[in-house]
Structure 1
C-alpha cells in the first residue's frame, strides 16, 4: 500500500519563472522610458551627437539583452529548483512507503509470533492432560489479539457426517441460548458450502441474514443472544471435515478479510489440535468405561495386578472375611409370566442398585449367577469393620427390594445369609478373569441364605456375637444346615438407634 506524499507541483515553479520574466520586461520598459526622457532633455543640445532614434535603439537593445539574460538565468534556476524539489519529494515518498512496509512487516511477524505461542501453549496443555473443554476455554480466553469476538461456539460433525452438534460454547454476555447439545442437519444448509470450500464465512449483519433466512433456528438463537456479526471457521483434520469454530460479535461489521487470512494461517494446526484433544477425551471416556467394566468383573486392587500376557496366580488366604449371599425368591415362577425384556430390565435395575450399595459400603461383589448375588468383605482390601458393613448392606438391599415391590407391583423378595470366618480368595480364568472365594465360610453363608425366610436376613452365631451391641438381632433357634448339622442362627432386623452409622 502506497503512502500519501506532498509532492511539489511543477506549476508553482513555472509561475515563479513567469514572475521573473515579468520583472525583466518591466525593467526593459523602465530602461526605454529613461532613454526617451533623456532624449527629450538633451536632444536639442546634442545635434552633433547621434540622433535620438539611435540612442533609443541602443537603449532598447541593451534592455533586451539584460532582460534575456535575466530570463535565461531565471529559467535555469527554476528548472534546477524544480528537479531538486521533485527528487527530494520522490525520495521522501519512497522513504515513507518503505517505513510503512517495514512497520507492517514487523506487526505481521509479531502477530505470527503470538499465533505460534498460543498454538504451542495449547499443545502443551493437551500434553499435560487437559481435555477439549479446557482447550476451548483457553482459546476463548486468549484469541482476542487474533480475532475479535464476544462469543465462541464449537460444533462437531457426527460420525456419519450428516448432523452438526454443538459441544461447547461461551459468551461474555449473559446466558448462551445456542448451547451444548443443539444439533442440525448439514445438508442443504449454508454451512454445507463453507464445509465444502473450506473458506471461512463472514456475516456482518446477522439480523439482516435472519430476515432473508427466517427458518434458520441457529441464527435466530444467536441473534437473541445479542450477536450482530459472525465469522464461521471450518475445521478439517487430515483432509476430513470435523466441525466448526463460530466467532460472534455484538457489533455490526466486526469482521474483515484480514481475520479470515489470520484464521487460515492457523486453521490446519488448530484443527489438528482440536482433533487430538477430542481423541484424547474419547480415549479417556473409553478407558473409564473399561475401568468400570473391570471393576464389575474384578476388584480394582486385583485387576491392577494383572499384567497382559503374563500368567500368574493371584491367591491368598484370609483369616477373617465376611460372605453375604442373596437370592431372589420365586424368580423362576414370576419371570416366566412377564416379557423377557422386562425380566432383564428388572434384574439390571435391581443389581445396579446393589452394586452402588456395595461400593458405598466398601465391600466387593464377587459376582452374580442367575438371580443370586454374592459379596465379600475384608478382601481383597482389608478393613476392620467389614462385618458391620455387610450387615448394613443386607438391610439396605432389603429396603431396595421393598421399593421395587411398591413401584413395579411385583412380588419380589430375597433371602440373605451372612457368615464370617476364614476363606481362600483369588483370581481364576485365563481369558475371562474372575475373583472368587472358597472354603467353609462361603458354604455356611450359602446354607444360611437357602434356609432363610423370604424377605429375611439369617446370620450365624459368630456374626451375632460380633454384632449384638450395634444391631437388633432375634434368635431363630437351631437350624439343620446341610454339611454343618444343627446350628444356632439369628435374624438380623435393624441397626440399633444408638449405633453410629458407618455409611450415611
Structure 2
C-alpha cells in the first residue's frame, strides 16, 4: 500500500502476523510493539501540529471574513452616502428656492444624523455681516432674522474670516460670551454646532450650520457628508440669490414699465387734449405747421369768402337778464349750431367777437365752390334763430353780411394763438353785416355776380357804406327752384 501512513500500516500488519505465530518470543513482540508505538507517536505529533496549523488558518480566515464584512458594510454605506449626496446635489443645484433646499436637506439627512436645527446664513459684503434668514427647527420652518456682524467675536466671523469650518462638540465648554447670542437665537439646550463656509469658486456666499441638542453629535463620516453637501449648497444658494435678485429686478422693471406705460397713456391723453385744444383754436393744416416749427405763418389767398353774423337784440337781452349762466347758455346754443353747420359744409370758423360770429371759405384749403358753401351756411344760420326763438321764447335774430375777394391769413400772438384774416375783403364783409337788416343775408356786388345763376337775390340798390361810399348790394333769399 502506497500513500499516506504506509509505513505505519506495514508495521501494524507485522504485529498482527506475529501475534498469530505460536512460538512468538517476548522480545520480538516487544520490538514490534515499540516500533508501532514510536511510529504512532510520531503520527500523533504530526497530527497535533497539523491541528494547530489548521486552527491558526481558520482563525485567520475568520478574521479576514470579518474584515471583509466590515469593509463591505462600509462600502455599502459609502455607496448609500454617495447616492444620497448625488440626489441632494441634484435637488440643491436645480432648485431656486432656499427654503425648499433646506427642507430637502433635512428630509434626507434626518435619519443619518442628529439635525435638531439646520440654518443657512447669507453673506452680505456691503454690511460685512451674515444674515440667517432660513432655519428649520425639528423640520419646521422658522422665519427668523439673525444677524452676525463679522467685525464681532463670533463663530460666523471665525468661519468666514478664517475660511475654515468650526466644529463645537460641546457648547458648555465654550466661551459664554460667544454662545450667549447663539442660545438666545436657537435655544438654551443646543450642545453641538458645526459651521461650514459656503463658497462658489473663491467667493464666500454664506455659512451653513447644523445643530444638535446632544454633545459630540457628529462623527467623522457624518462631517464628511456635511462638507460634501456644503459645496453643492453654496452653488444652490448662490443660484437662489441670483434668481431672487433677478426676479426683484424684473418685478421692479415690470413696475417701472407699467408706470412708463401709464405715463405714456396719460401723456397720449394729454397730448390728444392739447391737439384737440389746438384744433379748436387753429385750422388743422395751420396747427401742423406750427408743430413742425414754423414761427411766422402768413398766406395770401386770391379768392376767399368772408361772413359776419351778428346777433341782433342780444345786447338788449343781456342788459335785462340777471341770470348770467342762462345768457351764456343761449349764446352757446346759437354758436354750437353755427359750429355744426360750419363743420358740415367744410368752412373755417375764424373767431367769435362777443355775439358776432366770423366765418371764412376757401381757406386755409382753397375750394372752387367756397362761396356757394358760404351762401348755404348763411341760410342755415337764419333757420337756427327760428329754433332758438321757439326754444327760449326770446325775440332775437341774426344779421349776416358776406363778401368775397383777396385776403391775407396768418397766425399772430405768442401765448394765445389766433388765426385771423386781413384785407379789404374782411372790411367789406363786416360793412355788409353792419349795414344789413335783421333776419336777412346782405351781400356785395361781387357775391351777387357769382351766385345769381343758382340763387335768388333781391336787389337793394345803392347804399352809403361807411368808409366805402356808395355801393350796390343785394339780399340773398335762397336757392333758385
Normalized against structure 2, the TM-score is what? Answer: 0.51
Q: Which moved more, 1:82-91 or 1:405-414?
A: 405-414
1:78 aligns with 2:69: yes
Q: Separation in 2 of the partners of 1:64 and 1:349?
A: 130
The one-character-per-residue Cα deviations of 1:91-133 (angstroms, maximum 9, x if unpaired) are: 2332333334444469xxxxxxxxxxxxxxxxxxxxxxxxxxx
**Do the aligned partners of residues 81 and 90 (structure 1) sit closer, same or farther apart at CA in structure 2, a change above 3 Å counting?**
same
**Do the aligned partners of residues 59 and 308 (structure 1) sit closer, same or farther apart at CA in structure 2, a change above 3 Å counting?**
closer
CA contact (8 A) 1:447 1:481 kept: no
The one-character-per-residue Cα deviations of 1:136-178 (angstroms, maximum 9, x if unpaired) are: xxxxxxxxxxxxxxxxxxxxxxxxxxxxxxxxxxxxxxxxxxx
1:315 aligns with 2:279: no
**Do the aligned partners of residues 93 and 394 (structure 1) sit closer, same or farther apart at CA in structure 2, a change above 3 Å counting?**
farther
**Do the aligned partners of residues 66 and 468 (structure 1) sit closer, same or farther apart at CA in structure 2, a change above 3 Å counting?**
farther
1:460 aligns with 2:444: yes
After TM superposition, the structure 1 = structure 2 runs for residues 423-502 of structure 1, keeping only pairs within 5 Å, are 423-429=407-413, 431-470=415-454, 472-478=455-461, 480-483=463-466, 484-494=469-479
After TM superposition, the structure 1 = structure 2 runs for residues 61-72 of structure 1, keeping only pairs within 5 Å, are 68-72=59-63
1:87 aligns with 2:78: yes
**Do the aligned partners of residues 290 and 382 (structure 1) sit closer, same or farther apart at CA in structure 2, a change above 3 Å counting?**
same
1:415 aligns with 2:399: yes
- Aligned match of 1:370: 354
Measure how far apart 1:329 and its partner are.
1.7
CA contact (8 A) 1:418 1:460 kept: yes
Measure how far apart 1:442 and its partner are.
1.9
CA contact (8 A) 1:321 1:423 kept: yes
- Aligned match of 1:238: none
Q: Separation in 2 of the partners of 1:86 and 1:481?
A: 125
Measure how far apart 1:262 and its partner are.
8.5
CA contact (8 A) 1:461 1:490 kept: no
**Do the aligned partners of residues 277 and 406 (structure 1) sit closer, same or farther apart at CA in structure 2, a change above 3 Å counting?**
farther
- Aligned match of 1:329: 312
SS at match of 1:275: helix
CA contact (8 A) 1:479 1:486 kept: yes
**Do the aligned partners of residues 380 and 309 (structure 1) sit closer, same or farther apart at CA in structure 2, a change above 3 Å counting?**
closer
Gap regions ≥5 residues in structure 2 = 1-15, 17-35, 98-242
**Do the aligned partners of residues 444 and 69 (structure 1) sit closer, same or farther apart at CA in structure 2, a change above 3 Å counting?**
same
Measure how far apart 1:376 and its partner are.
1.3
Q: Separation in 1 of the partners of 2:301 and 2:266?
A: 40
Measure how far apart 1:390 and its partner are.
1.6
The one-character-per-residue Cα deviations of 1:32-89 (angstroms, maximum 9, x if unpaired) are: xxxxxxxxxxxxx9x9779xxx9x9999989876764454233211211122222222
SS at match of 2:303: strand
Q: Separation in 2 of the partners of 1:83 and 1:399?
A: 111
CA contact (8 A) 2:458 2:477 kept: no
After TM superposition, the structure 1 = structure 2 runs for residues 275-354 of structure 1, keeping only pairs within 5 Å, are 275-306=259-290, 312=296, 314-335=297-318, 336-354=320-338
CA contact (8 A) 1:425 1:438 kept: yes
Q: Separation in 2 of the partners of 1:458 and 1:380?
A: 24
SS at match of 1:344: helix
After TM superposition, the structure 1 = structure 2 runs for residues 389-408 of structure 1, keeping only pairs within 5 Å, are 389-408=373-392
Rg bigger for which structure? 2
Q: Separation in 1 of the partners of 2:344 and 2:477?
A: 20
CA contact (8 A) 1:414 1:455 kept: yes
**Do the aligned partners of residues 279 and 331 (structure 1) sit closer, same or farther apart at CA in structure 2, a change above 3 Å counting?**
same
**Do the aligned partners of residues 92 and 264 (structure 1) sit closer, same or farther apart at CA in structure 2, a change above 3 Å counting?**
same
Q: Separation in 1 of the partners of 2:397 and 2:247?
A: 64
CA RMSD of aligned residues (A): 4.1
Measure how far apart 1:399 and its partner are.
4.0
Q: Separation in 2 of the partners of 1:261 and 1:395?
A: 73
The one-character-per-residue Cα deviations of 1:272-306 (angstroms, maximum 9, x if unpaired) are: 21222222233333333333333333334334445
CA contact (8 A) 1:419 1:445 kept: yes
Measure how far apart 1:323 and its partner are.
0.4
SS at match of 2:404: strand
- Aligned match of 1:37: none
Measure how far apart 1:327 and its partner are.
1.0
SS at match of 1:382: coil
Q: Separation in 1 of the partners of 2:51 and 2:399?
A: 146
Matched residues, number? 298
- Aligned match of 1:172: none
Gap regions ≥5 residues in structure 1 = 1-44, 107-258, 498-504
- Aligned match of 1:388: 372
- Aligned match of 1:186: none
After TM superposition, the structure 1 = structure 2 runs for residues 226-241 of structure 1, keeping only pairs within 5 Å, are none
